[in-house]
Structure 1
Amino acid sequence: MRDRMKAIQARPGNPEGIDIGEFGQTLCLYSETMPWGQFNAVKGLKGSDIGYLDDILRFYRERERKPQLEIVPSGVDQTLLKALTDRGFYSSAVHTSMYIDLAVLEQLEDKRFSAKRDEMEPDMILESTEKGFESNVIISALEEDQLPLYATIHCRGTGLPDDGIPSVLANNSVLYNRPGWSFYLASVDGQPAAVGVMYRHGAVASLTFAATLPEFRKLGLQGLLLEQRLRAAREQGCKLVVGQCAFLSQSHRNMERAGMKIGYIRSTWTQR
């Protein structure tokens, strides 16, 4: 998110009103035009940064925004949690962080990839007959001229209105050629159906986003996009892949089927 927000901030005139604050080990993200929690999140807050807590809250109060605090259990203690409660915060949601050691992926590969699929890299052509649906599914790297298509699937696959497509397009176009970012497209019988995004930093890759158009759901497309990104991460020299999902969601089940395991359950704290 730090890299994503810096890229959006660097757009001419900073049209999304991005601001980034750092207090100790804590990262504070803010967007004037995007009020959603992920763009106004406090990340990395630990008990050792409790002395910065009021500064962090002031950062958002001055910008008239209530932040979303993302709390990782290994980094906090009772003192910090009590301090959050005293300041009007409550635990409002939980999120699952998943991971896989890519050495384990190599051991599992024969079970998940057929020899036919291996021969077809970098694209995968597969047959799907789930629920009587017969089709050719192609997973490929997204071309730069397909970014408007990506933005459309991003919005419609997540329930955002179409008037958000231009903003999503602009904010992801700045990532396309930025080091570390990779975009993938799943097509069914030649029709664009789903997308997935990955970000690599050093030897770690993060599964940052995925969405499927409603009419193409329940065909296993996200599982295939997940497999492709895991393979790409290994080819790029990564040792670890991480991702986030709602607890026991379909994404959670897809990640477990791909060999990923729970790293921790993150709690989201919201101000009353």
Structure 2
Amino acid sequence: MLSLCPGNPYGAYTRSFGKAVALLAQKAHSGLYNRVHHISGDDVGFLDEIIEWYRSSGGICSFQVVPLLSSPSLLWQLAKHGFYQSGFYNVLYGLPAIQQASFPQLTIRSVEPEEKETFVDIYFNSFGLPKTAAYGYVHESMSRLIDVSSNNCFFALVDKKPVAIAILSLYQQVGYLALAATLPSFRAYGCHQALLQARITRAISQECELIVGQAGVATGSQRNMERSGLRLAYTKTDWTIYNALADPDKNTTSFNR
């Protein structure tokens, strides 16, 4: 999304190295925007080139490793280059079927283009994110999600007030549960589950053949996805460059959903 900003002020680029796809945002000093995806055991020979590309561009470098593509040599080389396993995400999948629960206290509707600020505010307030140096590029990235034609953005409302958000991204008959966030004081209302149902229903209406999503390990998000019929596909890992002075618990730009 950052590369769509006029003039590319964040220095956002993508580059392929073998099967791996590297995302770089020079002005966004977060692994969320500077990450290598789909790297495989066949791409070990590109590691030095990948790391040098990030270094010479002034960006940080992190890797997301999928079990099916991994190899002992890849993991060993990541460790050798100073990276450590810093996090986990579960990837879930399911057929587009819906098991409806009732949430009479909630209204679910689409986000209108003029409601971008409300959408972004809910995102920041849901995760308790301070308006630090990261605020500008995250705000810009989140705002542009609403403009993407393949994205279906939703609000959950309580007493006509938006209190939760979610996105369904559509691509070639696959519906991706891209994002969900609920304001802390409304997390007992069933917003996440209701938004899951709304997105799955929309995916069915768009003739999707598969639903996929990701969630933190053993989180409420994972449990809600499983209640909606999704099943665990695999657990992927994040690899981050080791820094003895950096406390990962104080990293406010790593947005686990």
One-letter code aligned to 1:215: S
Gaps of 5+ in 2: 243-257
Match of 1:54 in 2: 48
SS in 2 for 1:65: coil
Partner in structure 2 of residue 122 of structure 1: none
1:36: Cα distance to partner?
2.1
Cα shift readout 1:18-64 (whole Å, capped 9, x = no counterpart): 12121111111111232222211110000111221111111111123
> Offset at 1:179?
2.6
Q: Output aligned runs, 1:94-109, within 5 Å.
A: 94-102=88-96, 105=97, 109=98
Which shifted more, 154-163 or 234-243? 154-163
Residue of structure 2 in register with 1:174 after alignment: 144
Aligned to 1:155: 124
Q: Deviations over 1:81-120 (max 9, x none)?
A: 1111211122122111111122xx1xxx3x4257xxxxxx
Amino acid at match of 2:200: L
Equivalent residue, structure 2, for 1:145: 114
Percent identity between matched residues is: 31
- Residue of 212, 218, 237 corresponding to 2:182: 212
Question: Are 1:41 and 2:41 an aligned pair?
Answer: no
- In terms of Rg, which structure is larger? 1
Matched, 1:81 2:75: yes
Maintained 8 Å contact 1:183/1:197: yes
Counterpart-to-counterpart distance in 1, 2:79 and 2:230: 33
CA distance in 2, matches of 1:48, 1:79: 9
RMSD over aligned CA atoms reads: 1.8
Residue correspondence of structure 1 range 260-271 to structure 2 within 5 A:
260-271=230-241
Spell out, residue by residue over 1:115-147, the C-alpha distance to the aligned partner (whole angstroms, 9 max, x if none).
xxxxxxxxxxx32xxxxxxxx310001111111
1:169, distance to aligned residue in structure 2 (A): 4.4
Is residue 2:161 matched to residue 1:194? no
TM-score, normalized by length of structure 2?
0.88
Decide whether aligned partners of structure 1 residues 142 and 165 sit closer, same or farther in structure 2, where only a CA change above 3 A counts: farther
Write out aligned runs for 1:219-230 (5 A). Answer: 219-230=189-200
**If each structure's helix is expressed as a fraction of its own residues, which one has the higher value?**
1
Supply the distance in 1 between the matched residues of 2:16 and 2:225 (Cα, whole angstroms). Answer: 32
SS at match of 2:106: strand
